[in-house]
């Protein structure tokens, strides 16, 4: 049994995972997936791959290939595919009656504008795929919405699916929570003077204590999305928590010291458990 920590860009997170696995004495390879064709990767049934490619498309392709070889991937490809599509995630959450910001999807500029007016300004336009708070746009009025829509109409592919959310006044902060194997392990505020609070965009982390209400919502969300290790972003409102997004390959380097939880150790232990389970079977 072998653990592969698969990456393309080697970040601090992947190094921490590798250091933790090495200290635990796990047979492990830090694998740059760009170095050889997929069919030459040394996967065998019972191995575990911790998929950490920055690119969602690379991660999903890698996961599908590894799964075809009898390899367990953290997270499985079906979870990656769901989390990679904000529209699909929102539909799954809505199906399970999980509270989230009101959203709309449209396939034309006219329908997108009508959706924005129905939601009421301000609204947030998001690409259906993407991370780090990139390419988000807040339209405060119809004129701004028309400009954003025109811009998107001249871009390719994914931008022709319009995804809109009602803007939620979050008072300069949102919450990111980490869930492992269905159980919440930590949470923190992301605070910023800007309406986009991602730590990749300068948001400052501050520990947020888990409570019963938040933990129950996180467990329900994880049960609906599936997977091993998720980062769930939420808004705290006067009416309760709203799930904003669910991430399957989240970064944690900007928050690990703040939350006081050894996330690499927890994730690597989970991978060890999967390997031991495969060996026992």
Beta bridge partners of 245: 233
Peptide bond into 75 cis (omega under 30): yes
Strand order in the sheet with 3-7: 28-32, 3-7, 48-51, 72-74
What pLDDT is attached to residue 131?
Answer: 64
Task: Evaluate the omega torsion of the peptide bond into residue 46 and state whether it is cis, within 30 degrees of 0.
Answer: no
The CATH number assigned to the domain with range 170-260 reads 3.30.470.20
Residue 190: what pLDDT?
A: 85
For 3-82+266-280, CATH gives 3.40.50.20
**The pLDDT of residue 42:** 92
Match domain 102-166 to its CATH number in 3.40.50.2300, 3.90.1150.10, 3.30.1490.20, 3.40.50.620.
Answer: 3.30.1490.20
**Full-model pTM:** 0.91
Which is it for strands 173-180 and 229-237: parallel, antiparallel or unpaired?
antiparallel
**Sign of the four-CA dihedral 108, 196, 143, 120:** positive
Burial class (CB in 10 A: 0-12, 13-18, 19+), 103: buried
Long-range contacts of 229-232 (CB under 8 A, 24+ apart): 229/74, 229/75, 229/178, 229/179, 229/180, 229/181, 229/267, 229/270, 230/75, 230/79, 230/83, 230/178, 230/179, 231/176, 231/177, 231/178, 231/179, 232/176, 232/177, 232/178, 232/179
Angle at 102 between CA 121 and CA 123, to 5 degrees: 25
Per-residue pLDDT of the chain (281 residues; tens, 9 = 90+): 899 999 999 999 999 999 999 999 999 999 999 999 999 999 999 999 999 999 999 999 999 999 999 999 999 999 999 999 999 999 999 999 999 999 999 999 999 999 999 999 999 999 998 765 677 899 999 999 999 999 998 886 677 899 999 999 887 789 999 999 999 999 998 887 666 666 555 567 788 899 999 999 999 999 999 999 999 999 999 999 999 999 998 888 877 778 888 999 999 999 999 998 876 66
Question: What pLDDT shows up at residue 180?
Answer: 95
Residue 220: exposure state from Cβ atoms within 10 A (0-12, 13-18, ≥19): middle
Q: Where are the domains of the chain?
A: 3-82+266-280, 102-166, 170-260
Can you give the pLDDT at residue 197? 62
DSSP character at residue 40: G
The whole-angstrom separation of Cα 102 and Cα 236 is 15
pLDDT score of 117: 98
Positions of E strands within the chain: 3-7, 28-32, 48-51, 72-74, 103-106, 123-126, 137-139, 162-166, 173-180, 183-191, 204-207, 229-237, 240-247
């Amino acid at each position: 049994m072998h653990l592969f920590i698969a990456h393309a860009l080697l970040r601090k997170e992947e190094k921490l995972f590798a250091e933790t696995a090495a200290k635990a004495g796990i047979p492990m390879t830090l694998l740059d997936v760009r170095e050889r064709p997929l069919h030459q990767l040394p996967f065998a049934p019972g191995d575990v791959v911790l998929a950490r490619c920055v690119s969602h498309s690379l991660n999903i392709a890698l996961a599908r290939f590894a799964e075809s070889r009898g390899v367990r991937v953290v997270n499985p490809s079906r979870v990656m595919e769901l989390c990679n599509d904000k529209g699909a995630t929102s539909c799954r959450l809505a199906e399970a009656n999980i509270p989230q910001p009101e959203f709309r999807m449209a396939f034309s500029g006219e329908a997108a504008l009508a959706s924005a007016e129905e939601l009421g300004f301000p609204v947030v336009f998001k690409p259906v795929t993407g991370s780090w708070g990139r390419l988000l746009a807040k339209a405060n009025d119809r004129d701004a919405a028309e400009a954003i829509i025109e811009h998107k109409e001249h871009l390719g592919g994914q931008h022709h699916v319009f995804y809109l959310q009602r803007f939620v006044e979050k008072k300069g902060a949102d919450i990111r929570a980490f869930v492992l194997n269905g159980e919440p392990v930590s949470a923190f505020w992301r605070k910023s003077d800007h309406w986009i609070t991602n730590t990749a965009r300068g948001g400052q982390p501050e520990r947020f204590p888990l409570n019963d209400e938040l933990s129950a919502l996180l467990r329900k969300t994880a049960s609906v999305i599936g997977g091993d290790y998720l980062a769930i972003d939420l808004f705290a409102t006067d009416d309760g928590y709203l799930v904003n997004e669910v991430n399957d390959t989240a970064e944690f380097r900007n928050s690990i010291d703040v939350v006081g939880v050894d996330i690499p150790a927890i994730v690597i232990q989970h991978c060890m458990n999967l390997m031991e389970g495969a060996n026992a079977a």
